[in-house]
Amino acid sequence: MEQKKRMQELVDQLNQASEKYYNGADEIMSNYEWDALFDELSQLEQQTGVILPDSPTQKAGYEETAGNKEEHEFAALSLAKTKSVEELKNWAGEREIWLSWKLDGLTLVLTYDNGSLTKILTRGNGTVGTNITFLQNSISGFPKKIAEKGHLVVRGEAAISYTDFKKMNDLIEDEDEKYANPRNLAAGTLNLDDPKVVKERHVGFHAFTLVYTQQEIVSWGKRMDYLDELGFDTVDREPCNASSVASVVEKWTKRVENGEMDIPVDGLVICYDDTEYAAGGTVTGHHATRGGFAFKWQDEAVDSRLKYVEWSCAASTISPVAVFEPVQIEGTTVSRASLCNISEMERLGIADDCVVSVIKANKIIPKCIKVKDAKGTFQIPEVCPVCGAKTQIHISQKSNTKTLHCTNPDCIAKNMKNFSRFVSKDGMDMEGLSQQTMLRFINEGFIHQFADLYHLSEHAQAISQMDGFGEKSCENMLRAIEEKRKVTPEHFIYALCIPMIGTDAAKKIVANIGFEEFCNRMKAGLDFSDIDGIGEEKSKAIENWYAKKQNQDGFEALLQEVEIDDTKSAMSLEGSLKGLTFVITGDVHTFKNRNEFKAYVESNGGKVAGSVSGKTDYLVNNDINSTSSKNVKARSLNVPIISEDEFIAKFAR
């Protein structure tokens, strides 16, 4: 009786978490906690022989709450999961297999007939999904027309990169409305009815299997190559077998640990190369026995004594961070982990004196998952740690989440995104100054305005003793700042964080009137709308920005710290490449990197686009015979594909 009661509790908890997870709402538990509860439920079902109605062990997903529902032509079943490499070896047996990423997004199923996209369904509960075909022009990564004229069904993952996730969250002023992670944002985005808003969020489709084709292709690897030829963005993959899968798993895991993945992943997937053999398995529970095997990393939970809770102000929210005795987790020393908000602290049971269990979620982010030996309670600060203004607890109407806020509208920490923009590659390009690092400096009182970054050496001793720093890392950071005292005018203008003045606008200003005239006009309150591509709205934004005394003071203080190098302009109105649009892909060897290549094109009047279109004049790729999606699209549009050497021979002067 007790077992059945516990099983019902687990079913209710897991289904509640799944509903929020699949519908883009605030998540109420980590993947680590969900997996642990799911495993406990599975074990109880095996012990008792009882499966309760609505058990998540029998579902392939979770049905979305809105939208027109349609039945899948081919059931989108879940994969069996393991955290054991030995199980992967046993599953592979004597057969050739492929390893690919388990992307952390939402599964979509695309259907094509007679060469045209006819349907996009979400995975839903695996049997029935939601029709979102109306979003076909808002999601990238797949063609609308293909050369295959028969019936074709493709399954893949819709995901948002960490880069785009960060950009999107930076635009949301209210911390209560920010998204927890890229997967949460992707789920919320695909529930929207406005295609324009969906497109702005840069959801990308990554095909991970060709479900059905009338072509006689048995090999899974060749099926994926075929999708590449048709113009789909496909998941990375590598062939292996039982004897090599362990080393391949280790290699791919290192890629995640080293921060190489911009697209979020939460594991790996192996599948048989022989698709006919794979289709011959049976269906057990909510997955096919030969349909594939998902490998999820064994999160290493380590206990440590909590030293204190640090309250850090960012934007309008003051967030708690657990600071604990340093511990080794998966090869790195960890001593801090976000506690998110007051509600999460209450859920965990954080106290002044306690032990916290910490993991690195998805091999990357330190996260507290449990509290032990709690004594006492925790204190909520009454004043902001940055400006000293009174604090206030907000309760979100959307999720009932409690967050702490600074009541001072002019608190410097509320301008954190401006500091991130200032040090970015398009700005001053300062390495070693992450948003988290600068936020700590702001909370310590080291930084009040941009120019203060050039005086961090005055706090070198204190910084070198801060958690996560040392003398060497402090020296490297200060050296990187000093090396960036010389800056081109367009990078300087972008770094000022003038609303509506991005990289393109900054380049146009410099190319048309030069930096000195820009300064003269701004100080005199003169108009910029005569510059092509600026217009009245952006001109007014410059005027309004400089009208604020704190911006004037900050501008003058910066000019005392940096040297404006106006000998080079990032974009010339005239030049050998005027009127030409290029797309640059793959590795380069003559130019230092693609950014340098791009700068050369723009300095000679050309444009560089991110994707191939009818407006592209040349695709530059040193692998001219590649079957990548860009090459395939270029050929379909009759866009010339040239190598870097051919570009230099044809256009360099």
Closest CA to 416 of 390, 389, 463, 450: 450
CA separation (Å) from 511 to 530, 576, 605?
Answer: 13, 15, 10
| Paired sense of beta strands 151-159 and 106-113, if any | antiparallel
Catalytically annotated residue among 5, 89, 102, 363: 102
Q: Sign (positive/negative) of CA torsion 59, 61, 67, 70?
A: negative
Query: What backbone torsions phi and psi does residue 102 show, to the nearest 5 degrees?
Result: -100, 95
The pLDDT of residue 600: 80
CA distance 446 to 528: 36
Does the annotation count 102 as an active-site position? yes
CA distance 560 to 651: 39
- Residue 244, class by beta-carbon neighbours within 10 Å (0-12 exposed, 13-18 middle, 19+ buried)? middle
Query: Which amino acid appears at position 21 of this protein?
Result: Y
Positive or negative torsion for Cα 96, 100, 105, 107: negative
Q: Which residues contact 595 (CB under 8 A, 6 or more apart)?
A: 425
Regions of the chain where pLDDT drops below 50:
24, 63, 65, 570-573
Query: Around Cβ 398, how many Cβ atoms within 10 Å?
Result: 10
Residue of 445, 550, 533 whose CA lies nearest to 497: 550
The greatest distance separating any two alpha carbons of the chain, rounded to the nearest whole angstrom, comes to 83
Q: CA-to-CA distance for 354 and 337, rounded, in angstroms?
A: 15
* pLDDT value of position 314: 67
Around Cβ 382, how many Cβ atoms within 10 Å?
9
Q: What is the mean pLDDT of the chain?
A: 85
Q: Do 80 and 86 form a contact (C-beta atoms < 8 A)?
A: no
Q: What is the pTM of this model?
A: 0.56
Residue 574's pLDDT is: 53
**278 phi, psi to nearest 5 deg:** -60, -35
